[in-house]
Structure 1
């Protein structure tokens, strides 16, 4: 399970990278992270997750001299979303497929590499690529969650596996993509899978041996299973029907933060399963019916020692749009109305920027940071969104084109907070999504179980409609004043899904873009002070460290994630570049150079003759939207990570197609057999649909559309 390269043995271990010379990472060291700003000990650098470094050797005056110090090519061409750690001269980073690598932070020498050998077919249960967002450190070990639901402890000096525990029921479609958090020797990890039908929770494990210490569920269980904790009994009053049969959702798949003074761990809770609340929690008629579905789309404060519930704040009650609250949270002290408030800040998917009291969960303020139409504002007393009734497609039964959409106004990409300017820097997106309620929907064992018709809202084969959708889809780096609740400046991007953010004491904000640039902006006004083309899209957040008085900035490059797959045309025409997975490290005066970029010629659309009947094509379109579109793109228009089926050689004959779709001939690449949910005839209907789409788009290209 392990592959080692350049391992230092015996006395040479400490000399090669100081990797064994420290006393380990403990509570005192994590609490004092600001006193050792040259290191990056946890995924957000500090427990407050501000992603701000006081290092200022790289600053506005000299950032124009920034150059590449070294780079390392990675052995996977999937999305790269992790933030590296730097401890005692060693960079530790997780990559796609939950692999972990250690590099000498000065030279880039690979010290060791660990592969948990995640079964590639597991990716069919991951909504958003085979990504991983980082590792955690405690003692002399590293901890990583794997896509197939394990939590693994590694020796930090060698990469040897110390222990491994399975944290999920692997028969269910659970995944792990988020970084663990560690508090006083307890490793805390969540999971994903709400799009497929699971129940969310977080679990704490003993860092020494992997023993489970506690588990906190985010949605109530089947009442027939016995008495539940008081907080879940209260939540059950806000659910209806037999939600447990569909999973319920509420997975904690990314963000957490910790306040050591209050001893509170904050977790962000995800969307419902399925999205469509009419199926998930069908409420009886009546004005007084509470159908909020706690604790979906909520921030929940719990005690890290015991998993005890303390308080919650729900951002999207009764969510039905995939509006998660799993986005990056930041803790800070702000002066509001002449009083210092200890706050938690979040810009979740629903488009409102929230400031809440982190001791009590009391709502302080909120405002929308992107244009929206699903709500008109929030109640100034409670913070509850004031919904547009038309947005409730689950109640009206009518389609609704929502802004923001399911991808969110801000997704997992980390924000940053600069205490000097008081600004939060948000990697934002402006993208709509069409919600088409589906009559007589039933869950399935494979594919998105979201309760809407994904085919009905597919990108039309009309040049004007496509142009309009592309024009309305864009991204931005927004500098947000959390006290005034207003934008101070923005950097506009052609498309969404740009990188996470780092703020530094040098008055700089670093961010990569989907279009393949890594740049530094002034925190003062957003002016671009330096940039470098890096040959691929950047979605991960940068970090910075210092060795021997020299400051470095590091970032993982490699386009991927859900936007590289599901949006199809919107992804492939947003100026993005193919995936080239690399770790890039910069310093003042760096002279390293990337190799010449390879050419990636696009194959011509040359489909076989169209022989499917209109009925077959229509059925295939529905099935494609239900089972295939999440990976292979809206309307069969691929993004940049997986093959474009319109150009696939398997379209030529039914045997080749069924070998892949029904027999699982490419399971080792993640394309599992869909025989549990499709008949051979249905698989052929999908083939006829893809052929028809290829003909439509070839004709559109020929007409100049």
Structure 2
């Protein structure tokens, strides 16, 4: 099947960030503030219903064909004008792999190069597909040994290389990025982001340099530093920039005896794309222990700073500072808080090194620290957009508090199949008291922000109902498009933030939109499907947030009026007390086991609004044997619930069930 008819004119969205700077700004201007009210649904296409998980992908559009990804790393090729399915690729990721990821079996998109579509699969493969047919041309395993690596980020094209990173810092992995020949799939190079065991030698001088910033036997726990999302290639400078994640475990006391900067965690690293050679780095959070990753979207552009034109890299990472760096040298140019933060007093104006507040070093001083931002970040993976016409960067922000509480570093026991942060799993959990939970929820804020990167300040912002919202795209027509957690997809004026148009989509939106044109008609598309760390893992009851009832791609154009049915919300089980003979000791044991084994998928303190069952409403908890069949025997493994087998014995399974029943019965007394 041809990619598109040769007699048609196309304006494509052919790479993850649209252009080489990943600005996500399209010059298309057919849709404007004056006519945006005429936008209607042109078509929609549903992903299959294996399970309704989060959808985070950026669709690509090349010569009239859209390539979109959904949960479980599935790829759809669609006619970009009609939505007709051309082909579908299912990498058949094993359901048991779901336990290896913290935030759902999501995928953030594909790469396109020379007639091929490249997708990273959740279980660690990089697959090249024929763009016309969906047939596999080559497939390689990008992961090492039996470590629980995952791949959720979109691959990037750097010359003739396809570059991919991975995730899993809390699961004991050592981060790296790998580059593969686009034609053959042969690995060209691998760059590790943290050093390994010095006794085995260093892969390159950069790793020897990094090792001097670590202490103890960090390699036993992997070290973390996974590059799980953002990368960007500058063809003019021939530099590849990678964003490096948090250390693993989070606690620096556990990870590195409480010492050192721990390079290259929470850093941006510049490499030569053909060889993987280190060029420079800039570390944002030395000795990170707050999950303040630098894996967030990076934008490359030119800015006039102090009367000099500079080639810059811009990023709003999790830690709450908006950074502008010289992308040739890594020189720090500016860093300004874009959300309230309390872990640092500020940044050194010359070096950009943070002045970390002593109280924030919770693993060192042993005192709890209520940190801002939270591990979800002041801004997370949801992409930004830079509009050269306004000079503004548009991005979603989140204000969320989080209680960091260190565990006993001397008693730390690494769990090869569990979540390892080095924190006290009970004291750092969400409180169960509903009034306290509501107080915490009331402190959470979200916004769409327009940011001046030269002046380092907000120009306008639009408050959102929830702190977890979608990525953005801006256009030459003077519009910013974004979806939010309530399922609203909207267009805003780029200069004022005024909302000019919106449409309810039936499920919360976290993915970024794209825009493209075929034969002079401009289209705007967005992938829909609620998920990610906040609804899944923070245990906050977002009662009014749209549940993940539908996973689909929806496309709009002026004057269109196609029907788009919104499915009914799935009713939760009625409130009724569940009988239990468990005593307080068994329930307490179950709470601890749950927070060690279960919360990453089913929600902190057994409460979630994500894409997996809220166990408090599951009929399985009422029956001992049925519950054991799910937990120990894998009755739902194809859907992503792995069999824990001997990892959880019969008594432990019963304790977990007792705790979940207790939480289910708590609903009856919640005002």
TM bucket (normalised to shorter chain) is: over 0.9
Residues 265 and 89 of structure 1, relative CA distance in 2, 3 Å threshold:
same
- Write out aligned runs for 1:685-704 (5 A): 685-700=655-670
Structure 1 residue aligned with 2:372, among 403, 407, 410?
Answer: 403
Contact 2:550-2:567 within 8 A present in 1 as well: no
SS in 1 for 2:666: helix
Q: Does 1:481 align with 2:452?
A: yes
Name the counterpart of 1:382: 351
> Is residue 506–residue 546 contact of structure 2 (8 Å, CA) maintained in 1?
no
Aligned CA distance change for structure 1 residues 424 and 676 (closer, same or farther; 3 Å): farther
Q: How far apart, CA to CA, are the structure 2 residues paired with 1:245 and 1:458?
A: 26
The within-5 A match list for 1:327-342 is 327-342=296-311
Q: TM-score, normalised to structure 2's length?
A: 0.97
Instruction: Compare 639-648 and 501-510 and name the one that shifted more.
Output: 639-648
Q: RMSD over aligned Cα, in angstroms?
A: 1.5
Q: Does 1:228 align with 2:203?
A: yes
What is the SS of the residue equivalent to 1:657?
helix
Relative CO higher for 1 or 2, CA cutoff 8 Å, sep ≥ 6? 2
What SS class does the counterpart of residue 569 from structure 1 fall into? Answer: coil
Q: Unaligned 5+ residue runs, structure 1?
A: 1-12, 23-35, 284-289
In the alignment, structure 1 residue 358 sits paired with structure 2 residue 327: yes
1:498 corresponds to: 469
After the TM superposition, which residues 195-214 of structure 1 pair with which residues of structure 2 at under 5 Å, given as runs?
195-214=170-189
- Given the alignment, which residue of 68, 78, 83 partners 2:53? 78
3-state SS in 2 of match to 1:195 = helix
Q: Do the aligned partners of 1:79 and 1:579 also contact (CA within 8 Å) in 2?
A: no
Deviations 1:599-633 (A, max 9, x none): 32222233422322222221211111111111111
Asked if the contact 1:607–1:646 (Cα under 8 Å) also holds between the matched residues in 2, the reply is no
Aligned mates of 1:227, 1:422 — CA distance in 2: 43
- 2:493 is matched with 522
* Alpha-carbon distance in 1 for matches of 2:331, 2:568: 53
Task: Give the alignment partner of residue 435 of structure 1, picking from 387, 404, 408.
Answer: 404
Measure how far apart 1:685 and its partner are. Answer: 1.4
**Shift of residue 171, structure 1, vs aligned partner:** 1.7
Residue aligning to 1:313 = 282
Equivalent in the alignment of 1:58: 31
Alpha-carbon shift at residue 177 of structure 1 (Å): 0.6
Task: Calculate the TM-score normalised by the size of structure 1.
Answer: 0.92
- Does 2:367 match 1:394? no
TM-superposed CA distance for 1:40, in Å, is 0.9
Greater CA drift, 587-596 or 268-277:
587-596
**Which residue of structure 1 lines up, in the alignment, with residue 21 of structure 2?**
48
Partner of 2:617: 647
Alignment correspondent of 2:549: 579
Distance in 1 between the 2:374 and 2:653 partners? 29
Q: Structure 1 CA distance, aligned partners of 2:615 and 2:577?
A: 10
Alignment partner for residue 583 of structure 2, among 613, 618, 624?
613
* 8 Å CA contact 1:343, 1:356 repeated in 2: yes
Q: Is the deviation greater in 690-699 or in 255-264?
A: 690-699
Return the offset for 1:657. Answer: 1.8
Distance 1:677 1:248 in 2: 24
Q: Distance in 2 between matches of 1:607 and 1:305?
A: 62
Question: Which residue of 558, 568, 585 maps to 1:588?
Answer: 558
SS, match of residue 682 in structure 1: helix
Q: CA–CA distance in 1 between the matches of 2:572 and 2:629?
A: 25
Q: Are 1:149 and 1:170, in contact at CA under 8 Å, matched by a contact in 2?
A: no
Question: Which ranges in structure 2 are unaligned for 5 or more consecutive residues?
Answer: none
Aligned pairs (5 A) from 1:170-569: 171-283=146-258, 291-439=260-408, 440-569=411-540
Structure 1 window deviating more from structure 2 (628-637 vs 646-655): it is: 646-655
Is 1:537–1:579's contact at 8 Å kept on the other side of the alignment? no
Assess if the C-alpha contact under 8 Å between 1:40 and 1:544 holds in 2: yes
8 A Cα contact 1:82 1:93, kept in partner: yes
> 1:607, 1:651 within 8 Å by CA — same for their partners in 2?
no
Does the 8 Å CA contact 1:37/1:55 hold for their aligned counterparts?
no
Q: Does 1:681 align with 2:644?
A: no
Q: Following TM superposition, where does structure 1 have runs of at least 4 consecutive aligned residues deviating by more than 3 angstroms?
A: none
Q: Distance in 2 between matches of 1:314 and 1:574?
A: 39
1:108 partnered with 2:94: no
Q: Aligned-pair distance for 1:169?
A: 2.4
Q: Secondary structure at the match of 1:630?
A: helix
For 2:274 and 2:203, locate their aligned partners in 1 and report how far apart those are by CA, in whole Å: 20
Contact 1:37 1:53 in 2 (8 A): no
The structural deviation recorded for 1:170 is: 5.5
* Bigger shift: residues 475-484 or 639-648: 639-648
Contact 2:229–2:243 under 8 Å retained in 1? yes
- Alpha carbons of 1:107 and 1:227: their partners in 2 closer, same or farther (altered >3 Å)? closer
* Counterparts of 2:445 and 2:427, CA distance in 1: 23
How many Å separate the matches in 2 of 1:454 and 1:464?
21
Q: Measured at CA, do residues 240 and 676 of structure 1 come closer, stay the same or move farther in structure 2, by a change above 3 Å?
A: farther
Query: How far does residue 332 in structure 1 lie from its aligned partner after superposition?
Result: 1.0
Aligned residues of 1:446 and 1:674 also touching (Cα < 8 A): no
Q: Secondary structure at the match of 1:593?
A: coil
